[in-house]
């Protein structure tokens, strides 16, 4: 009980109560609640290693606050973001959230960027029983900490990115279904998470894994890996790639004239330079994506439009995930009809736990650990453009299998 709480003193509450400042008398001089701003505390890596995505996340939050405020705010109160810079430092992020919750008495907190920072931040929020919705931190470890207030505001964790594709492949009639699978993945938790998620589902569905290669992140020559894959003549090729490694592997496979019936790569095919980099032989290449500006969800159109007006560019995945975080918190606040520390936070957590929430990345639900229960959309190169092909509800083009030769 070393922290001072002005409100606690004002209402003369017993000093044992940690969760103070919650009830009606807490406002300065007891003014009416609607005049007080809702302060949302955030710590973001605005400098240091993660400053690039950190700034993206900041823009997403700013877009959310602006859109909410332009419509008259939350519960009639304006939303104010209180953003501290954690310098991409995990020790700093803990101090930041301690300060935001304990000293600054913010009404709500939302998450920082990257797994490394999400876990320590979530621990602080957990201590104070605050709802903690976060826009990053998809790694398995985040959901193994026993957090009860944490929710990851994205469609899926890495292992589930390809679920729609796995379902589509396994739903094919037996005579058309591919039989063999070759996997090559960078030695990286995210890349391997996505690729192995699909691999394991296809294996469980009866396909045989005929090649399973891992390469170090600094690999530049893919000819030997390609030779091993090409020798298997696998029907399905899964690439756990970032960007350049995916391009290099595809070119090396083209040099060996290997033609898979289905080729799925993480991240790489969604990059703008991808088509040119592999000589425009992209037709049929697949990739999962967590966010698309063209996704037909109701709030997405508004988000893209207003984000463009505010920042003069299209929102990317980082911005969208932060915006999604805002939307989840917004829905909870509206449903619980409160936004402050204390009892209210429990109502917010309960609401998020039990409800399906509509966001710019689609409807989201979570399991008990805060892991989202969805899957990523699957995009495919069709006629020189990358289009959503799965799931059927959001598709812009039909899923084509087998893919044309490259």
Partner 1 sequence: MDGALLFQSVVLGLLLGGLYALLAAGLTLYFGIMRVVMIAHSAFLILAAYLAWWTHTELGIDPLLSMIVTVPLFFGAGVLLQRGLLSRLRPMTLTMMSVLLTFAIAVTIEGLLGYAFTGTQRRIQLGYGSASFGLFGARIAVVKLIAFGLAAVALGGLYLLMKRTRFGWALRATIQHQDAARLVGIDTARIAGYGFGLGLATAAVGGTALSLDTTIYPSLHWHWIGPLMAIIVVGGLGSVPGAAAAALILGLAQSVLQIPMGTTWAQTVFYLALFATLAFRPQGFFGGRLAQRF
**Of 69-77, 132-140, 225-233, 259-267: span binding partner 1 (CB under 8 A):** 225-233
Using the rule CB under 8 A, which residue among 23, 244, 310, 369 binds partner 1? Answer: 244
Q: Are 285 and 356 in contact (CB under 8 A)?
A: no
Map the footprint of partner 1 across residues 190-219, applying CB under 8 A.
Answer: 213-216, 218-219
For partner 1, the closer of residues 135 and 246 by Cβ is 246
Residue 233 lies near partner 1 (rule: CB under 8 A): no
Residue 384 lies near partner 1 (rule: CB under 8 A): no
Residue 247 lies near partner 1 (rule: CB under 8 A): yes
Q: Which of 354, 389, 360 is nearest to 373 (CA)?
A: 354
Residue 223 lies near partner 1 (rule: CB under 8 A): yes
Residue 275 lies near partner 1 (rule: CB under 8 A): no
Residue 279 lies near partner 1 (rule: CB under 8 A): yes
- Find the shortest distance in angstroms from Cβ 199 to partner 1: 16
Q: Are 22 and 344 in contact (CB under 8 A)?
A: yes
Residue 221 lies near partner 1 (rule: CB under 8 A): yes
Q: Torsions phi, psi of 40, nearest 5? A: -105, 120
Helix or strand or coil: residue 218? coil
Buried b (16+ CB within 10 A) or exposed e, 107-134: bbbbbbbbbbbbbbbbbbbbebbbbbbb
Question: What's the sign of the alpha-carbon dihedral 235, 238, 244, 245?
Answer: negative
- Find the shortest distance in angstroms from Cβ 215 to partner 1: 4
Residue 390 lies near partner 1 (rule: CB under 8 A): no
**Encoding tokens for residue 209?**
């894994």
For partner 1, the closer of residues 158 and 229 by Cβ is 229
**Encoding tokens for residue 257?**
């004239």
Beta bridge partners of 380: 286, 387
Map the footprint of partner 1 across residues 249-268, applying CB under 8 A.
Answer: 251-252, 254-257
How big is the chain, counted in residues?
A: 406
Q: Which of 118, 67, 133, 121 is nearest to 324 (CA)?
A: 133
Alpha-carbon distance of 131 to 221, in angstroms, equals: 47
- Find the shortest distance in angstroms from Cβ 218 to partner 1: 6
For partner 1, the closer of residues 26 and 239 by Cβ is 239
**Of 76-84, 167-175, 220-228, 293-301: span binding partner 1 (CB under 8 A):** 220-228
For partner 1, the closer of residues 363 and 404 by Cβ is 404
Using the rule CB under 8 A, which residue among 28, 204, 224, 343 binds partner 1? Answer: 224
For partner 1, the closer of residues 214 and 335 by Cβ is 214
Which residues touch 79 (CB under 8 Å, ≥6 apart)?
37, 38, 40, 65, 68, 69, 73
For partner 1, the closer of residues 232 and 373 by Cβ is 232
Residue 283 lies near partner 1 (rule: CB under 8 A): no
Buried b (16+ CB within 10 A) or exposed e, 213-225: bbbeeebeebeeb
Q: Total binding residues for partner 1 by CB under 8 A?
A: 31
Alpha-carbon distance of 324 to 327, in angstroms, equals: 5
Q: What is the contact surface with partner 1 in residues (CB under 8 A)?
A: 187, 213-216, 218-221, 223-225, 227-228, 230-231, 243-244, 247-248, 251-252, 254-257, 276-279, 281
């Amino acid at each position: 009980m070393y922290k001072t709480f002005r409100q606690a003193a004002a209402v003369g509450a017993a000093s044992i109560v940690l969760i103070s400042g919650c009830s009606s008398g807490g406002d300065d001089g007891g003014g009416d609640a609607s005049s007080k701003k809702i302060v949302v505390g955030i710590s973001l890596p605005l400098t240091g290693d993660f400053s690039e995505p950190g700034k993206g996340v900041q823009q997403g939050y700013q877009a959310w606050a602006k859109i909410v405020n332009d419509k008259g705010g939350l519960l009639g109160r304006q939303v104010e973001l209180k953003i501290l810079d954690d310098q991409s430092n995990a020790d700093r992020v803990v101090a930041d959230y301690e300060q935001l919750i304990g000293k600054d008495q913010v009404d709500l907190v939302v998450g920082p960027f990257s797994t490394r920072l999400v876990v320590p931040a979530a621990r602080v929020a957990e201590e104070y029983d605050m709802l903690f919705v976060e826009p990053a931190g998809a790694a398995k470890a985040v959901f193994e900490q026993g957090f009860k207030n944490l929710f990851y505001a994205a469609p899926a964790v890495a292992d589930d990115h390809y679920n729609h594709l796995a379902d589509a492949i396994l739903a094919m009639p037996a005579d058309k279904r591919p039989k063999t699978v070759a996997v090559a993945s960078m030695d990286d938790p995210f890349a391997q998470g996505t690729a192995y998620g699909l691999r394991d589902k296809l294996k469980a569905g009866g396909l045989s894994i005929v090649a399973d290669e891992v390469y170090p992140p600094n690999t530049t020559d893919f000819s030997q890996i390609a030779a091993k894959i090409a020798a298997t003549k696998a029907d399905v090729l899964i690439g756990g790639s970032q960007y350049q490694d995916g391009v290099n592997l595809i070119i090396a496979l083209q040099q060996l004239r290997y033609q898979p019936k289905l080729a799925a790569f993480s991240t790489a095919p969604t990059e703008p330079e991808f088509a040119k980099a592999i000589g425009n032989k992209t037709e049929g290449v697949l990739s999962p994506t967590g966010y698309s500006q063209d996704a037909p969800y109701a709030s997405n159109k508004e988000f893209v439009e207003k984000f463009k007006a505010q920042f003069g560019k299209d929102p990317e995945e980082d911005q969208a995930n932060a915006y999604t975080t805002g939307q989840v918190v917004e829905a909870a606040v509206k449903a619980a009809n409160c936004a402050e520390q204390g009892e209210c936070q429990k109502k917010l957590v309960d609401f998020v736990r039990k409800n399906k929430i509509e966001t710019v990345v689609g409807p989201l639900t979570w399991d008990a650990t805060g892991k989202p229960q969805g899957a990523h959309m699957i995009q495919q190169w069709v006629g020189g453009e990358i289009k959503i092909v799965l799931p059927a509800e959001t598709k812009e083009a039909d899923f084509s299998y087998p893919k044309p030769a490259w």
